[in-house]
Amino acid sequence: MSDDSSGPPPRVDDTDADEPSSDGPGSRGPEPDGTLAVGDALSGAVARLVRPVGLALVAGYLLVGFAGAVATTSLFATLVPRVRTAVIENSAATPADFPPLADPSPLALPVELSTALGLVLLTALLAETLNVVAVQVFVRDAREFPREALADLPARSLVSFVANSLAAAAVFVGFVAFILPGVFLAVAFYQVRAVVAVEGAGVVPALRRSWRLVKGHRIRVLFVLLVVVLVGQVATLPGSLVEVTPLGEAAAAALGVVLGAVVTAFGAAVAARVYVQLVGMEAAEMAAREAGGGEAQDDEPLGALTPEEIDERFGD
């Protein structure tokens, strides 16, 4: 797969010149001093999420989220009894030491372990494909579905899946070793999916490019991540309310999937709007360096967008 986007960059903002900015009142993009405007990223995400295309993506996340919940609960219900049996048979433990779990989730299917594993992998790939499409939508004005979002979609989705899996593994190791390295890596690789979705970068170039894009903006990107994580906690509320409200387990599971779809779409929109600001600031720095007679650095990452491409893709 090529590291650069193929074909001429599409014009993505068809709004009238007199129309107010789509990010809401007072939207300015990056701050004048070249720092990430967190408020604009969040408000721009919300503005795009409530449009018809954004709501359609939420519906897509709902379907994929429901399928993912069925797959993961089925895997859990199938795997845990096998692990329990293996532990009891190969240790001094007794069945009393590992009592059977309560009834499995109402979403779980009675399937074989191999089938459950296949369902988990399939739904994970579907979710990543939807994430790639969502980024393609949310970096644009999102008033209509961009045909470019389907270009080279299977390849970009697979690359994004692999790259984000590697990034997640690195973050996990960082958290296990010591919390701060995990936080640092989570921030550094925050833009991997956007780089693959928009620029068509390969696995390693995407990791390198995300690292470079975030450099110099890590504190603000960390704040954005904290906001997204806090919003994501909303999806966990139904499960915690089962025992203190009349909400049944099936209703709680269904409500959790619905809230999860909304917060996942919101997270994709925020990441896309952060990406637009970061590449815009990068383009401004490149233009200033060229105007000042400076030379581009030798390690300029593959897939980097030029200032002209930035204006063409994301300009108002």
Boundaries of every domain in the chain: 38-314
Percent of the chain predicted with pLDDT > 70: 76
Q: Which string of DSSP letters, residue by residue, matches 91-152? A: SS--TTTSPPPSSPPTT-----HHHHHHHHHHHHHHHHHHHHHHHHHHTS--SS--GGGGTT
* Separation CA 160–CA 35 (nearest Å): 27
For CA atoms 305, 307, 312, 316, give the dihedral sign: positive
Q: Is 134 exposed, middle or buried (0-12, 13-18, 19+ CB in 10 A)?
A: buried
Structural tokens at position 315: 């300009």
pLDDT at position 217 over 50: yes
Task: Kindly indicate the confidence band of residue 18, based on its pLDDT and cuts at 50, 70 and 90.
Answer: very low
pLDDT at position 277 over 80: yes
| Strand ranges for 9-86 from DSSP E | none
Task: Kindly indicate the confidence band of residue 225, based on its pLDDT and cuts at 50, 70 and 90.
Answer: very high
Q: Which of 229, 199, 196, 195 is nearest to 213 (CA)?
A: 195
pLDDT at residue 71, as a whole number: 92
- C-alpha 75, offset from chain centre: 23
CB atoms closer than 10 angstroms to residue 213: 25
Comparing 95 with 40, which gets the higher pLDDT?
40
pLDDT at position 14 over 60: no
Comparing 279 with 289, which gets the higher pLDDT?
279
Instruction: Supply the DSSP symbol for 243.
Output: T
* Separation CA 53–CA 63 (nearest Å): 16
Segment 209-224 mean pLDDT: 94
pTM listed for this prediction = 0.79
pLDDT at position 62 over 90: yes
Is residue 271 within a helix (H) or strand (E), and if so which, with residue range?
Answer: helix 249-291
* Separation CA 98–CA 81 (nearest Å): 10
> What value does the mean pLDDT of the chain take?
81
CB atoms closer than 10 angstroms to residue 118: 14
Helix (H, G, I), strand (E, B) or coil at 176: helix
Structural tokens at position 263: 């917060």
